[in-house]
Chain A
Amino acid sequence: MKALILVGGFGTRLRPLTLSVPKPLVDFANKPMILHQIEALKAVGVTEVVLAINYQPEVMLNFLKEFEKKLEIKITCSQETEPLGTAGPLALARDKLIDDSGEPFFVLNSDVISEYPLKQMIEFHRGHGGEASIMVTKVDEPSKYGVVVMEETMGKVEKFVEKPKNFVGNKINAGIYLLNPSVLDRIELKPTSIEKEVFPEIAVENKLFAMVLPGFWMDIGQPKDYITGLRLYLDFLQKNSSSKLATGSNIIGNVLVHESAKIGDGCLIGPDVAIGPGCVIEPGVRLSRCTVMRGVRIKKHACISSSIIGWHSTIGRWARVENMTILGEDVHVADEVYSNGAVVLPHKEIKSSIVNPEIVM
């Protein structure tokens, strides 16, 4: 079975992290974002994944070679030379997605983190016999998104309404599709929107069905949602494979610690924390609701909450970092400094406190 992951775009909302690596390679819960998806696809028998990209192909290709070997799955790239929207890339990758088997193929949006119940989706798709299946997820504020109006019993999709002013439903497109090869005949190689042009066409023919996503879902394309997404993901891990989470008297709630990370005495870690490979957390540190990327050193007595600390950064002794502080790669926060929501570009030193949220270039 084949799959396409829509990676396109510059990831500008995840800056400054995406100034150092392309978005799909930004770590989430100690794993590159895209690896979560590739592993879920492999688990249901996908043998080839095509990445639809338009940015930094060299960096992506290097990473992919490494993971192709480890995961034993074929990974190729389909590079857009001009932006093709959300459907055009499927046409571009047509030859890679269709083979003689006539099997349907998955399409995933790379910004999405969820439980990926792909096996259930395959059964759902076979069950209704239609041309295309999409996952939808329930949200509190549907008018921020595109709402999928569907009939309850079979899940047949009636229409899409973009950012509705009045309530028409609370299910939105979760960015996970399972499509028959015939869908590709509907897509021309030009900038095309799958939600605005392709799916409505299939819906009118009563061949589009939606499945409500069980479990958590988050678009982690921006820092605020990344932090919320980590909470949801760790909660999922706790229910399904709690052995992966850390335990101990210095751990509160769900905490993920890479085996190569070191945590000193007298620390209090959690809830909702991820600590990456090679990190050193010195004694007396308090961490909550934060992500600490590879190679970071947090010095004694520091306190970090609701923040993301980029690769190879350091946080000084007694520093306090909170309220959506996002540090890019190689940022060094001096001892005793306070950061309230600073967003810091890579390769900087923060020597004095930042009392109000600001961008440090």
Chain B
Amino acid sequence: MGSSEDDKVVAVIMVGGPTKGTRFRPLSLNIPKPLFPLGGQPMVHHPISACKRIPNLAQIYLVGFYEEREFALYVSSISNELRIPVRYLREDKPHGSAGALYNFRDLIMEDNPSHIFLLNCDVCCSFPLPEMLDAHRNYGGMGTILVIKVSAESASQFGELVADPDTNELLHYTEKPETFVSDLINCGVYVFTPDIFNAIQGVSSQRKDRENLRRVSSFEALQSATRNLTTDFVRLDQDILSPLAGKKQLYTYETMDFWEQIKTPGMSLKCSGLYLAQFRLTSPNLLASGDGTKNATIIGDVYVHPSAKIHPTAKIGPNVSISANARIGAGVRLISCIILDGVEIMENAVVTNAIVGWKSSIGRWSRVQAEGDFNAKLGITILGEAVGVEDEVVVTNSIVLPNKTLNVSVHQEIIL
């Protein structure tokens, strides 16, 4: 099919749902994960504003299991701010990511797009979408997958792929293999032509046929590995990418920038830092600065919401993000942390390697800290909404659920 530069593009961002992601607790007890701020902006804001750089972007759809009202405000404000139509679509039941795309195909095809981007919201990267689209057009296939090289040890947590070094064609794909296949992994960002819908439908009908066959032969029923999947549940990785690898339909585009998955609160602190570092390059005016004279001393990449108030004797950074209406008192030291809306940090307190929840209060000379291992269960200290830490109390490597007050020090604990 001929593609002209005027052809429209639609982007679909998968945002997941409330009961599926328990790994983001306790923060997800108060806010849908996609709306948790990284580098001062909601998580989903980063792929959305990356989409804005795509020429002829017609529409962005957010697809998930959350109630519509949880996204209503955000969607309306971001549509306004970026002047692109953004709409939230709620899945009534799980379809798998390919199945979800297929489920909403009529809406997606309304603008008659020539290309469709599919992105996972909980991916932290530079989203080189226009470059990916150009590469995809050159390859001329049905789909292009964003890929990145990682260490051999960590590769097995992801989908591993093998690509042709000259043509960049996807030769082989396998999800979370037990043995080493490749250090090139699937970033969870894809661009497709509308042929993808035919491919998905193909999988659905194949499954329907197999089901019909099963009714005839019960041996077939015992054999079928997909016997638990309904016909409209189609996974992108196992059901589309794996079978189509090596058939000159799918290609890869490698990113040399950063890439992380944001599955846990600890990782959100790491990714907030990655985005702040990215702002340093792309929009340094978003970052704070100060030398202790009129404003607080700022070290490294720091984001401060315009409504936050910081005492000039405080020292902030590196990797600190301070949200709306927070108040940081005299002599406070903040290192590698996310301070959420309405938090009050009193004089001479220290916060390092932590996330301090909305409206929490941190007392004088108290210390909220952690060892800083983003992957460990208690590697980053997390305080939920409205947690009070009294004067001089030390909180180390701990997680505190909302509405608790700590008047004694805690170490390596989860406080419900």
Contact = CB atoms under 8 A, between A and B. Distances in A.
Interface of A: 10, 12, 15-16, 19, 330, 343, 345, 347-348, 359, 361
A361 B414 CA distance: 9
B403 A361 contact: no
12 contacts: A10-B402, A12-B401, A12-B403, A12-B416, A15-B416, A19-B29, A345-B25, A347-B22, A348-B22, A359-B414, A361-B22, A361-B414
B412 to A, nearest CB: 12
Q: What 9 pairs between A and B have smallest CB-CB spacing? A: A15-B416, A10-B403, A359-B414, A347-B19, A361-B25, A12-B404, A12-B403, A348-B22, A347-B22
A15 B19 contact: no
Contacts of B29: 19
A10 B26 CA distance: 16
A10 B386 CA distance: 11
Given A12-B404, A15-B401, A361-B399, A343 B416 contact: yes
B267 to A, nearest CB: 15
A127 B328 CA distance: 58
A16 B416 contact: yes
A361 B404 contact: no
A10 B404 CA distance: 9
Nearest to B377: A361
Interface string B6-47: 000000000000010010011001000000000000000000
Nearest to B399: A361
A345 B22 contact: yes
A119 to B, nearest CB: 37
Contacts of A10: 402-403
A359 B403 contact: no
Contacts of B22: 345, 347-348, 361
Interface in B386-416: 399, 401-404, 414, 416
A213 to B, nearest CB: 30
A15 B399 CA distance: 14
Given A15-B416, A359-B416, 6 more contacts: A10-B403, A12-B403, A330-B19, A347-B22, A359-B414, A361-B26
B266 to A, nearest CB: 13
Contacts, number: 24
A348 B22 CA distance: 8
Contacts of A359: 414, 416
- Which secondary structure dominates chain B's binding surface? loop
A361 B413 CA distance: 12
A10 B402 CA distance: 9
Contacts of A347: 19, 22
- Interface size on B, as a range, is 10 to 19
Nearest to A55: B403
Nearest to B24: A361
Nearest to B413: A359
A2 B401 CA distance: 36
Nearest to A358: B414
Contacts of A348: 22
A147 B244 CA distance: 75
Nearest to A9: B403
A341 to B, nearest CB: 13
Contacts of B414: 359, 361
A17 to B, nearest CB: 10
A16 B402 CA distance: 12
Nearest to A13: B416
A12 B404 CA distance: 7
A10 B385 CA distance: 12
A16 B415 CA distance: 11
A10 B416 CA distance: 11
A165 B25 CA distance: 41
A16 B401 CA distance: 10
A21 B29 CA distance: 14
Contacts of B403: 10, 12
Contacts of B416: 12, 15-16, 343, 359
Nearest to A11: B403
Nearest to A359: B414
A338 B29 CA distance: 27
A288 B209 CA distance: 50
Contacts of B402: 10
Nearest to B400: A12
A211 to B, nearest CB: 33
Nearest to A361: B25
B259 to A, nearest CB: 26
Contacts of A330: 19
Nearest to B414: A359
Contacts of A16: 416
A348 B416 CA distance: 16
B20 to A, nearest CB: 9
A42 B194 CA distance: 67
A132 to B, nearest CB: 30
B162 to A, nearest CB: 32
A347 B17 CA distance: 12
Nearest to B416: A15
A328 to B, nearest CB: 10
A16 B416 CA distance: 7
A104 B404 CA distance: 35
A19 B403 CA distance: 12
Residue of A12, A343, A361 with highest tally of chain B CB at under 10 A: A361
B369 to A, nearest CB: 20
A326 B149 CA distance: 43
A1 B29 CA distance: 41
A347 B24 CA distance: 13
A359 B402 CA distance: 15
A359 B404 CA distance: 16
Nearest to A345: B25
A308 B402 CA distance: 22
Nearest to B26: A361
A330 B22 CA distance: 13
Contacts of A345: 22, 25
A256 B29 CA distance: 33
Contacts of A361: 22, 25-26, 399, 414
